[in-house]
């Protein structure tokens, strides 16, 4: 039978602290469970506020999207093109986020996102 200790052992070491993720140039985002908004997280800011040993695992914050009352959790990736891992270890938190809203970015807020891919490609897009 799998235990919590077994699961924790599978996490890469670089995910254990904001300082380690910063040294690895890892990518970190916050994701809202309610509205799905995905926002960039500046690891320099996290380290400056909380120190390099600060862990992002199981850290919930209020969503920064106006009018949303959801909670965000952190996701991390080693670099572009790699899988994103939710930084959640607490089984109760994992279960509470079992059903998530689809991820939303600025691309979902632009009118061009609703049109065909060809028309969308012709529209100027902000750098995301």
Residue 76 as a binder of Zn ion (CB under 5 A): the answer is no
Residue 65 as a binder of Zn ion (CB under 5 A): the answer is yes
Residues 24 and 78: their CA atoms lie apart, in Å, by 8
Residue 68 as a binder of Zn ion (CB under 5 A): the answer is yes
Residues 96 and 71: their CA atoms lie apart, in Å, by 11
All residues at 6 or more sequence positions from 60 whose CB lies less than 8 Å from its CB, including other chains: 71, 72, 73, 93
Among 26, 43, 63, 76, binds Zn ion (CB under 5 A): 63
Among 28, 35, 56, 88, binds Zn ion (CB under 5 A): 35
Q: Which residues pair with 77 in a beta bridge?
A: 27
Residues 55 and 19: their CA atoms lie apart, in Å, by 9
Task: Choose one: 5-13, 17-25, 47-55, 58-66; the region binding Zn ion (CB under 5 A).
Answer: 58-66
Task: Choose one: 1-9, 17-25, 56-64, 119-127; the region binding Zn ion (CB under 5 A).
Answer: 56-64
Interface contacts to Zn ion, rule CB under 5 A? 32, 34-35, 37, 63, 65, 68, 70
């Amino acid at each position: 039978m799998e235990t919590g200790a077994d699961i924790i052992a599978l996490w890469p070491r670089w995910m254990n602290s904001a300082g380690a993720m910063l040294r690895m140039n890892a990518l970190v985002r916050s994701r809202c469970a309610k509205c799905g908004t995905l926002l960039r997280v500046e690891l320099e800011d996290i380290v400056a506020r909380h120190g390099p040993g600060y862990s992002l695992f199981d850290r919930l914050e209020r969503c920064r999207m106006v009018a949303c009352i959801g909670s965000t959790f952190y996701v991390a990736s080693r670099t572009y093109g790699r899988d994103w891992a939710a930084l959640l270890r607490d089984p109760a938190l994992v279960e509470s986020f079992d059903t998530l809203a689809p991820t939303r970015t600025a691309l979902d807020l632009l009118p061009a996102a609703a049109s065909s891919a060809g028309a969308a490609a012709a529209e100027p897009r902000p750098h995301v």
